[in-house]
Each structure stands twice: as structure tokens, then as C-alpha cells.
């Protein structure tokens, strides 16, 4: 027999103001909480001062009830961004964090949206623990760029359509893509060339800037099979070959710093905002 069960409220013992499809959460013959799930799978719960483990079992029982008896495929809940207690209960009940709903609480406060689908592994499966933890961990934007040099030692830079400063060729790394694969893909898409990564030149942490979150920049030493051919017109206006000392006239200061540090070292360098870590 389960330690926690979901039971319908009776007209006698039901608290006032319950939403539709509200149920009592019962353990040891005692009501320990109340929970509800609507037609689209939105969950709500409230518990007395009980052990968190029982609360987790109660939410899990409600979810299994929604999947089984109600035939729902997905359930979700919104929790206050500062409500660490219920966020912890949700995570332990297999609800994965999906994002932040800005101002979702109706009075300007943010909420965290969590969800679980019927095809997710059961709570006892190690994959559930991994998936829930992974969904709640921070992610960081990655950028991959190339230092491409010609026989005269000049560096290839792109004159961009969407920003004032010229920049090294490259771009944002896609999900599940390696930075090296990303730089090869970007050069193919933007310059119509096949690139070979010869090695890592630099890694630089980029601090938050003008509304952008921080990021990690991977800069590779790259050679091309031919000069840039057909440019991607929505991003690249033109390409230029510049001597290292000319970069400061056209590219952002942190790009100059990254290139200078990379060229000055025989091994890959780690930088923060283009500078050696103090």
C-alpha cells in the first residue's frame, strides 16, 4: 500500500475556496495537504508542516493520477522564483525546470515554470535525477571564432551588416555542437570555404555587455581551402585582410586584445575580457 494517496474531498471536510479537481493528499489516514490539477495539467499544491519527503510523494502521486486516471500527457506548475521550498519539492517529484516566466505571478514577481510529461522516466530511474538536475543548471553562451592568416601574416576579418565593428569570422555555437565544429560550420555558411582547425589559440570569458549575458569565446587557429568565395549577404558585407597592427582601427578593443595575446603565445591562452587573468 502506498505511503501517500490522492483522495477526493468530501462535502463535509473540503476546505473553502478549493479549485476544481482538488484532492486531499492523505498519509497514515490523515490529510497532510491539498492539491489540484486542471484540464490542461496545471498543478497546484499546499501542504501542512510535514516532512518534505511526504510532500514529494504527494506531488508524485498527484502527477501519476493525472497521467493515469485523467489521461493527461503533460503536467506543469509555476512556482515563485524565491520559493525554494516548493522548487525543491517539484524537482524531487521529477518536474523539470523549463524557464522563467517574467512577471508571471501577476504582481510583477517572476515565476519558475516546471513540467513533467508521461514519457519521462519514473522517479526511481537514475535518468530522472540527471534530467531534473541538468534542467536546473545554468547554461552559458559559447562563441567560436577563427584566426585565419595569409602568407603575409595578415588576419582575415569580416565587415558585418549588423554592427559597426568588424570581427573575426565565426559565430555562436549551436546546442550539442562542439566549438571546433561550430567554427567550421560558420565559415562554410558565411564565406563558402572549407576550414581546417589546426588548434586552439585562446579561450576568453566575455563579461556581460550592453544587454548580453556573459559568454565563453573559443578562438581557433584555422586554415582555409581557398580565399573567401561567396559571402552570406544577410551578415557579411565584405571581408578584409589586415596586418595585426591595423586591427585597432576596425575591430572592438577586446578582439584586438584576444588576437594579440593569441599571437604572442606558442600555446593556447586563457583570458578574461581579452586580458590574462591577474
Average pLDDT over residues 201-210: 93
Q: Which has the higher per-residue pLDDT, 247 or 138?
A: 247
Query: Which residue range(s) make up the domain with 91?
Result: 5-136
Last residue of a domain, one of 136, 154, 169: 136
Average pLDDT, the chain: 92
CATH number at residue 219: 3.90.79.10
Whether residues 154 and 110 fall in one domain:
no
Per-residue pLDDT tens digits for 19-58: 667 888 888 888 888 889 998 999 999 987 888 998 999 9
Please count the structural domains in the chain: 2
Q: In whole angstroms, how far apart are CA 149 and each of 140, 146, 203, 274?
A: 29, 10, 19, 20
Last residue of a domain, one of 114, 136, 158: 136
**Strand 141-147 relative to strand 170-172, pairing:** antiparallel
Rounded to the nearest 5°, which phi and psi values hold at 258? -60, -45
Predicted pLDDT at 185: 98
Last residue of a domain, one of 76, 108, 136: 136
Predicted pLDDT at 17: 67
- From 41, 4, 3, select the one nearest 21 (Cα to Cα): 41
**pTM of this prediction?**
0.83
Lowest mean pLDDT among 9-13, 68-72, 135-139, 217-221: 9-13
- Indicate if the pLDDT at residue 1 is higher than 60: no
- Indicate if the pLDDT at residue 11 is higher than 60: no
Model confidence at 16, in pLDDT bands (50, 70, 90)?
low
- Indicate if the pLDDT at residue 232 is higher than 70: yes
**Strand 111-117 relative to strand 74-80, pairing:** antiparallel
Whether residues 152 and 272 fall in one domain:
yes
Amino acid at each position: 500500500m502506498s505511503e501517500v494517496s490522492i483522495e477526493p474531498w468530501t462535502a463535509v471536510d473540503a476546505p473553502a475556496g478549493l479549485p476544481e479537481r482538488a484532492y486531499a493528499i492523505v498519509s497514515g489516514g490523515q490529510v497532510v495537504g491539498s492539491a489540484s490539477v486542471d484540464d490542461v495539467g496545471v498543478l497546484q499544491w499546499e501542504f501542512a508542516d510535514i516532512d518534505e519527503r511526504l510532500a514529494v510523494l504527494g506531488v508524485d502521486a498527484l502527477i501519476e493520477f493525472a497521467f493515469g486516471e485523467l489521461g493527461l500527457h503533460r503536467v506543469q506548475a509555476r512556482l515563485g522564483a524565491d520559493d525554494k521550498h516548493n522548487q525543491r519539492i517539484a524537482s524531487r517529484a521529477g518536474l523539470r525546470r523549463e524557464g522563467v516566466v517574467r512577471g508571471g505571478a501577476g504582481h510583477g514577481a517572476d515565476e519558475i515554470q516546471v513540467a513533467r510529461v508521461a514519457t519521462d522516466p519514473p522517479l526511481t530511474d537514475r535518468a530522472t535525477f540527471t534530467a531534473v538536475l541538468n534542467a536546473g543548471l545554468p547554461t552559458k553562451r559559447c562563441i567560436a571564432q577563427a584566426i585565419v592568416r595569409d602568407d603575409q601574416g595578415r588576419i582575415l576579418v569580416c565587415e558585418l551588416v549588423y554592427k559597426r565593428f568588424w570581427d573575426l569570422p565565426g559565430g555562436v555555437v549551436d546546442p550539442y555542437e562542439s566549438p571546433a565544429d561550430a567554427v567550421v560550420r560558420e565559415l562554410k555558411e558565411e564565406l563558402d570555404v572549407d576550414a581546417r582547425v589546426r588548434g586552439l589559440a585562446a579561450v576568453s570569458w566575455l563579461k556581460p555587455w550592453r544587454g548580453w549575458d556573459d559568454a565563453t569565446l573559443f578562438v581557433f587557429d584555422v586554415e582555409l581551402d581557398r580565399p573567401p568565395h561567396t559571402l552570406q549577404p544577410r551578415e557579411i558585407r565584405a571581408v578584409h585582410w589586415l596586418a595585426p597592427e591595423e586591427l585597432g582601427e576596425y575591430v572592438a578593443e577586446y578582439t584586438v586584445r584576444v588576437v594579440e595575446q593569441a599571437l604572442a603565445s606558442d600555446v593556447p591562452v586563457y583570458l578574461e575580457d581579452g586580458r590574462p587573468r591577474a
